């Protein structure tokens, strides 16, 4: 199984469990919730792999360095 499929399946299982735990309640802001819960650890891990080098981390993430800095600020990630 490819890594992309593993991530896909993990997110799917987590969302299925989330809906089950909601027990019929109507959730809101799912998109933002998922992004916040995935984006922060992803950026933190990539920064670690890049040994704190923002340019290298941005390249690994496929985003602009300034975008990375903004996301770090919004997510309160220290560089």
pLDDT at 2 over 90: no
Residue 77: predicted pLDDT: 96
Residue-wise pLDDT for 16-33, tens only, equals 999 999 988 999 999 999
Whether 45 contacts 20, CB under 8 Å: no
- Tokens encoding 35: 């992004």
Angle made by CA atoms 16, 21, 1, in degrees to the nearest 5: 25
Question: pTM here?
Answer: 0.80
Residue-wise pLDDT for 6-65, tens only, equals 989 999 999 999 999 998 899 999 999 999 899 999 999 999 999 999 999 999 999 999
Residue 36: predicted pLDDT: 87
The domain segmentation of the chain, as residue ranges, is 3-74
- DSSP letter, residue 50: T
Per CATH, the number for 3-74 is: 1.10.10.60
């Amino acid at each position: 199984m490819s890594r992309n499929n593993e991530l896909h399946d993990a997110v799917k299982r987590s969302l299925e469990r989330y809906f089950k735990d909601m027990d019929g309640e109507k959730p809101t802001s799912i998109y933002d919730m998922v992004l916040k819960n995935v984006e922060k650890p992803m950026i933190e891990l990539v920064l670690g792999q890049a040994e704190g080098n923002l340019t290298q981390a941005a390249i690994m993430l496929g985003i602009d360095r300034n975008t990375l800095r903004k996301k770090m600020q919004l997510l309160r990630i220290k560089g």
